[in-house]
Amino acid sequence: MQAAAVHSSTLKPSPLDPFRNHKCSPFLVPTAAPKSRRRLSFVSASAASTVSAPKREKDPKKRVVITGMGLVSVFGNDVDTYYDKLLSGESGVSLIDRFDASKFPTRFGGQIRGFASQGYIDGKNDRRLDDCLRYCIVAGKKALEDADLGGDKRSKIDKERAGVLVGTGMGGLTVFSDGVQALIEKGHRKITPFFIPYAITNMGSALLAIDIGFMGPNYSISTACATSNYCFYAAANHIRRGEADMMLAGGTEAAIIPIGLGGFVACRALSQRNDDPKTASRPWDKDRDGFVMGEGAGILVMESLEHAMKRGAPIIAEYLGGAVNCDAYHMTDPRADGLGVSSCILSSLEDAGVSPEEVNYINAHATSTLAGDLAEINAIKKVFKNTSEIKINATKSMIGHCLGAAGGLEAIATVKAIETGWLHPSINQFSQYLTVEPGAFS
């Protein structure tokens, strides 16, 4: 979940009129946020009571800004194209054709097609790498280009104070699956020497750093759906503590393969709406039946305000704060009352120096699962006592659940909402979720 601490006196529908062809919940309306206010607060979940927010950080060495964004998505590798597709309410979900999924009870997902890495990864390495790593490298380099740090321009920064923190929920799953199959069918001598290096979760950060020469903090975090947000939080803290001037942070995932699909089928977590895949991801809808797998990568360039100003960087937004916690309840199901989520939001708001009343937009986790959607809404309502001015949308309704990359891709959507002044719709709202009181959300 990401929340934006921005205010708008005039909220307008998207100029692309995304409601024309899709049914949308009345509390998920595209709105305008003023371009002059670009403060952004990422939160993993928010609070159980309204508190007086402390003063915000003033030290330019400790203030963290976002200066670049890069992605690989079901809508391509260009940030503006990605957001235009979201604004238009287009679904990227379709039947899987990467492998024969005909025997699976779920046969669709947000599968990336036509991915191209030319100009970002050399041909020899490109053939060896797991897609999880390829997506990471391309998204990371595109983020640097967006931050005016492409190619030789990186020579003007201190690379010993620039780090990489890109996480993944599943790691190099294709390489791992192929290695196990080779062992079983042909014996250990047929396992590629790249099996371990390309399967482990930290290799995306490592290979990206090797490629661009960043010698600062480098590791990965793997916390399932929360992976990217954990990475943003940790990266910001490296900057705040003075351990780095700049961090590349986000998430990457490529799990739409037989073992990945089969694993989530076994968990009984996926929608089985095979007859109409594009309407399968329907957060908050009364008839939702599970999430839809997605894939890709979303990476931000985060740096201290002082560093960004010294190099004349394009400042897109400001990271105000975040928090992490655990509800200590169940492996997959959240507490029905949303307590773990609400307490985390509270801590995040406190860290950011933002009061609940200052927040008017939330990009929700909203996975389209029966328990998760309800718990998240309950948490939001605990923290934000008056939700009538808060706009909420669900990026997953169009791109599916990208697992470890979800927070990265949704962070980019959140920043684009602030930058452009337009919020994308949540599609597939056919039957309003009846447990939300009328008027609770706009």
As annotated, the active-site residues are 225, 365, 401
Strand (E) or helix (H) holding 162 = strand 162-167
Non-local (6+) Cβ contacts of 378 within 8 A are: 336, 337, 338, 342
Assign 3-state DSSP to the chain and report helix, strand, coil percentages, each to 5.
35, 15, 50
Decide: 178 and 133 in contact? Cβ < 8 Å.
no
Q: What angle do CA 165, 415, 429 make, to 5 degrees?
A: 110
Decide: 409 and 71 in contact? Cβ < 8 Å.
yes
The distance in angstroms from the start CA to the end CA of the chain is: 18
Decide: 116 and 78 in contact? Cβ < 8 Å.
no
Non-local (6+) Cβ contacts of 102 within 8 A are: none
Non-local (6+) Cβ contacts of 361 within 8 A are: 3, 4, 6, 31, 33, 390, 391, 392, 414, 417, 423
Helices 406-420 and 79-87 cross at an angle (nearest 10°) of 80
* Residue tagged 């452009």 (tokens): 420
Token pair listed for 19:
């409601």
Helices 131-146 and 203-212 cross at an angle (nearest 10°) of 40
For 271-351, list the strands marked E by DSSP. Answer: 296-304, 317-319
Q: What is the DSSP letter of 54?
A: P
3-class secondary structure, 68: strand
Strand (E) or helix (H) holding 2 = strand 2-4
Separation of alpha carbons 110 and 406, rounded Å? 12
Decide: 88 and 425 in contact? Cβ < 8 Å.
no
Non-local (6+) Cβ contacts of 273 within 8 A are: 108, 279, 280, 289
